[in-house]
């Protein structure tokens, strides 16, 4: 695996709750390595708390592009009312 793929590890968990309308949602964003040399995946998982989730992987040629996409999705979800429940952004190998 190349050095560019092993610099940043990101995991952000978001929740949106509204008891008045029985809303309990989650959204997880993470940057993970793939089996390919330079590709990095932005993994998005979402659904209702306590039930199975949907999952989507978006491939990027490097960690910087995946991180940029993560930040875009994070801002988008915050605008919709999601709150950060866990934010683990650290340097180190993927």
CATH number at residue 38: 2.20.140.10
Cβ proximity of 28 and 46 under 8 Å: yes
Higher per-residue confidence, 83 vs 3: 83
Give the mean model confidence (pLDDT) for residues 31-37: 87
Mean pLDDT of the chain: 88
Give the mean model confidence (pLDDT) for residues 59-74: 95
Residue 37 burial by Cβ neighbours in a 10 Å radius (0-12, 13-18, 19+) = exposed
Higher per-residue confidence, 22 vs 37: 22
Residue 74 — pLDDT band, cuts 50, 70, 90? very high
Number of domains in the chain: 1
Residue 41 — pLDDT band, cuts 50, 70, 90? very high
**Domain of residue 10, residue span:** 3-91
């Amino acid at each position: 695996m190349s050095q560019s793929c092993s610099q940043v590890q990101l995991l952000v968990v978001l929740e949106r709750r509204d008891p008045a309308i029985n809303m309990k949602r989650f959204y997880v964003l993470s940057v993970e390595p793939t089996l390919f040399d330079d590709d990095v995946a932005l993994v998005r998982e979402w659904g209702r708390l306590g039930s199975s989730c949907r999952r989507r992987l978006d491939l990027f040629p490097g960690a910087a592009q995946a991180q940029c996409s993560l930040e875009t999705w994070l801002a988008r979800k915050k605008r919709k009312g999601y709150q950060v429940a866990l934010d683990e952004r650290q340097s180190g190998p993927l």
